[in-house]
Structure 1
Amino acid sequence: MAKRALSVLVSGYTFLEGLRWHEDRLWASDFYTGKVIAAGLDGRVTEMAQVPQQPSGLGWLPDGRLLISSMRDRKVLRREPDGTLAVHADLTALTGGHINDMVVDRAGRAYVGNFGFDLMSGAPFRTTGLVCVEPDGAARVVAEGLWFPNGSFITPDGRTLIVNETFGNRVSAFDILPGGNLGPRRDWASFGAMPDSDDIGTLMAAASIAPDGGALDAEGAVWVADAIGKRIVRVQQGGRILEQIDTGEQGIFAAALGGPRGTTLFMAAAPNFAEHERRATRLGQILMAEVDVPHAGLP
């Protein structure tokens, strides 16, 4: 297996998440500066929005307006054509912690994950669910019992939602039903059973991989950012790891496939995800590598 050459697209950020290739630029959220940025392949960066309550997941409505997860106040924001931000949906009553990554389908439905508990304060772990936000902002819970739902993907046929579960040592899948509801959860990839514990340290120690963000490719495999392994792995359905890219001292927490051929793998890198360290430093960067199989599906 060839070793992938890594290069840096941009650097000097706190903690980047929500990577998306859109309109020939890479979009990303920087948690602790509150910036949503878009970067060209020349490294030129444009600030697209300022989200005081911490941006994360990104997606677009059919009319081109940007949706942004505003984490701390648990609101999905909508960027209007004039650049102002409006509240698209308030998910406070439907979530158990910061809202996080999301995927928006071609009809404009956003499937939004949340922490489920206060991760950064060391609170006991709790499972949580996925919220579906309709294009008009109406919202409902469509899945429960998930172990920190994170990066999510919709297959090219629009029939399956794939969800990385960061503290579950697994990737799950759901059939997308008419009207946007989800069928029962099933394993898409499982890396081993987890202990019956609400202690995050215990769960992380037991996991083989902590699936964070990622990207779906045209062979149906998912590039999975491993939040504890300082690597990103290409996984096929069933759990077999097809390829691994090691990143030395940098953890990888989000990814996207894009570029002119859809084969540039963008990776959000930082030393770790500890808020007190990342907020105070500017060590976040986006790495790039060329891979063999192009992007597919959403986002």
Structure 2
Amino acid sequence: MSDLPSTALLSAADATPIGSGLDRPESVHVTGDGGLVVSHRGRGISRVTPDGRISTHGPNPAMANGTELTPNGIAPQPDGSTLIANIGEGGGIWRLTADERLEPVLMEAEGIPLAAANFVMTDEQGRIWITVSTIKQPRYQAYSDKVADGLVVLVENGRARILADDICFANECRLTPDGAGLVVSETFSRRITRFDFGTEGLTNRRTLAQFGRGDFPDGIRFDSAGNLWVTCIVSNRLWRVAPDGTARLILEDCDHALVDRVETALSEGRMGREHFYDTGESRLGNIASIAFSKDESRAYLGSLCGTSILSIPIPKGDQA
């Protein structure tokens, strides 16, 4: 990626906070009325109305397998419920019902516990897609570019099957716009991996984008033009990756001293949770997910450490 522009189109000064008092708003989704649904640690979700009013939903405290629920990816459903990937010690995929009950949906696949469930989404066919960052417990044992035991799980017709079991800390995944492929964030190998998807499962694995120092890809989402937008924790960079793999730096608020600390810890095999929750001098809070307004004039960014959702303009025309 050395041939990429080194200057971002946007900086932290272009980001507008929406809401306040959110707790680990890692995953963000836009609702039909232009509001937001975000994950909320220890409860379930928070809803943010278009005028910025916040309501938090879920048991207080929400417990999953005897430990506090730590929602990572969430997937709002048409019936008013929300699927939640619990990356906390209790693991598993849970459903927060419309009347705020917490119910287990899937705790294992092919006999393997979903202990570090990272992400969940549903597609137009009603299938559930899940990523599990690692099967190691505790999960910080997989904070390494030398461990690749993350899972991609598909639930179809009530049956859960593992489509991939060798992902380097599996994070968000997305179906390609044509439905013929799947892309996955491999956080600690710093890459976006693409597969073809068909009757044989996931095939033809290749790298769509390889990132460099400080860039640990987390949340991803396609826009209507087929570009994949990638949020990177630690570096607090937002990249836009074209279908041919060409990447453009859109937003950056990088604390290089923080990057040095994390990269040193990674190389010495001592990286831990504290490195994900160290924001250094960055004002973006370790951006971890992205969603778009209906007209794609703005993007909304979730984060590991922020207390608000960040809204940024999407560059248009020649400047993009």
* Same topology, TM > 0.5: yes
Q: Could you tell me which residue of structure 2 aligns to residue 277 of structure 1?
A: none
For 1:173-192, list aligned pairs within 5 A.
Answer: 173-178=194-199, 181-191=201-211
Q: Which moved more, 1:89-98 or 1:228-237?
A: 89-98
| In the alignment, structure 1 residue 269 sits paired with structure 2 residue 299 | no
Task: Select the residue among 50, 59, 66 that pairs with 2:82.
Answer: 66
Backbone CA RMSD of aligned residues: 2.7
| Long gaps (5+) in structure 1 | 193-206, 272-282, 294-299
C-alpha deviation, 1:290, in angstroms: 1.6
C-alpha deviation, 1:140, in angstroms: 1.5
| In the alignment, structure 1 residue 285 sits paired with structure 2 residue 308 | yes
Structure 1 residues 147-173: Cα deviation after superposition (integer angstroms, max 9, x where no partner)? 111122122322221111111111011
The AA in structure 2 aligned to 1:213 is G
- TM-score, L = length of structure 1: 0.77
Q: Could you tell me which residue of structure 2 aligns to residue 199 of structure 1?
A: none
| In the alignment, structure 1 residue 255 sits paired with structure 2 residue 289 | yes
Structure 1 residues 120-161: Cα deviation after superposition (integer angstroms, max 9, x where no partner)? 65566432221112353x312111211111122122322221
Aligned 8 A contact 2:303 2:309 in 1: yes
For 1:1-299, list aligned pairs within 5 A.
Answer: 2-3=9-10, 5-24=14-33, 25-31=35-41, 33-50=42-59, 51-52=62-63, 53-61=69-77, 65-71=81-87, 72-91=89-108, 93-95=111-113, 97-116=115-134, 117-118=136-137, 121=140, 125=144, 126-127=147-148, 128-134=150-156, 136=158, 138-178=159-199, 181-191=201-211, 207=213, 209-247=215-253, 248-270=282-304, 283-292=306-315
Aligned 8 A contact 1:10 1:286 in 2: yes
**Structure number, greater radius of gyration:** 2
| Long gaps (5+) in structure 2 | 1-7, 64-68, 254-281
Aligned 8 A contact 2:44 2:96 in 1: no
- SS at 1:11 equivalent: coil
Distance 1:123 1:214 in 2: 21
- SS at 2:185 equivalent: strand
- SS at 1:58 equivalent: strand
Identical counterparts, % of pairs: 25
Taking a change above 3 Å as real, the CA distance of residues 82 and 135 of structure 1, as seen in their structure-2 partners, is farther
Taking a change above 3 Å as real, the CA distance of residues 184 and 105 of structure 1, as seen in their structure-2 partners, is same
Aligned 8 A contact 2:29 2:37 in 1: yes
Distance 1:139 1:10 in 2: 37
Distance 1:46 1:135 in 2: 34
Aligned 8 A contact 1:233 1:245 in 2: yes
Distance 1:46 1:158 in 2: 34
- TM-score, L = length of structure 2: 0.73
- SS at 1:167 equivalent: helix
C-alpha deviation, 1:243, in angstroms: 2.9
Q: Could you tell me which residue of structure 1 aligns to residue 274 of structure 2?
A: none
Distance 1:89 1:122 in 2: 23
Distance 1:250 1:256 in 2: 13
Aligned 8 A contact 2:142 2:169 in 1: no
Aligned 8 A contact 1:21 1:256 in 2: no
The AA in structure 2 aligned to 1:131 is V
Aligned 8 A contact 1:223 1:255 in 2: no
The AA in structure 1 aligned to 2:24 is F
The AA in structure 2 aligned to 1:78 is R
C-alpha deviation, 1:80, in angstroms: 3.5
Distance 1:123 1:3 in 2: 33
C-alpha deviation, 1:63, in angstroms: 5.3
